[in-house]
Amino acid sequence: MKAYTVDNFAALIGIDWADKKHDICEHPNPSEKYHYSIIKSKPESLHEWAMSLKQRYPNQMIAVVCELKKGPLIYALSKYNHLVLFTINPSTVAKYRKAFTPSGAKDDPSDALIQVEILTLHMGKLNVIEPESAAMRSLSQLVEYRRNLVQDSVNLSNKITATLKNYYPQALEWFKEKD
């Protein structure tokens, strides 16, 4: 994995994601001000935004930081070669916000700014999201669904066992397998 520095990128971007919209903080370079924008979380809007970045910063890499490691936003952005995706732990953003905002007041644009600040100061410590193939993403989702189904089965079996212990303890002796 390549070690990146701030100088490798034409712009640093923080995305505070949500279901319906994404708040974006863009920092082109140290001498320019931060730019804030909002895009819808629709795939078409993400594509249009990513392509507009490519036009504004031709033949240059752009660093994007988000509080996600996977999900629709990451899958949508990982297909663009001009974007390098970094992930940051949501609790890191929350603690940073708390350190500089004693009230703990949260809003999406300021969280996107905090992400850019953390990216600027600690890029070498953040994880880069390596794009996975569509087949691997599919397999990962299926494995996760299976894991959840198995856990649901265990939880249900435990509830039934607890109920039987209270009302019909003999039934537990009649069957070797609880499920």
Put the strands of the sheet holding 62-66 in their side by side order. Answer: 35-40, 21-27, 11-16, 62-66, 83-87, 127-128
Q: Which CATH code is given to the segment(s) 6-128?
A: 3.30.420.10
Label residue 15 by pLDDT band (50, 70, 90). very high
User: What is residue 1's predicted lDDT score, i.e. its pLDDT?
Assistant: 54
Label residue 173 by pLDDT band (50, 70, 90). confident
- Strand pairing of 127-128 and 83-87? antiparallel
Task: Please give the model's pTM, rounded to 2 decimal places.
Answer: 0.72
Beta strands in the chain (DSSP E): 11-16, 21-27, 35-40, 62-66, 83-87, 127-128
Label residue 68 by pLDDT band (50, 70, 90). confident
Which residues 6+ apart lie within 8 Å of 156 measured at CB? none
- Strand pairing of 21-27 and 35-40? antiparallel
Secondary structure of 128-179 as H, E, C letters: ECCCCCHHHHHHHHHHHHHHHHHHHHHHHHHHHHHHHHHHCHHHHHHCCCCC
Neighbours of 34 (CB within 10 A): 15
105-127 tens-digit pLDDT: 677 778 888 999 999 888 888 88
| Cα 156 to Cα 151: distance, rounded to the nearest angstrom | 9
Stronger pLDDT, 58 or 19, i.e. the higher one: 58
Domain limits, the chain: 6-128, 134-174
Structure tokens at 141: 């989702």
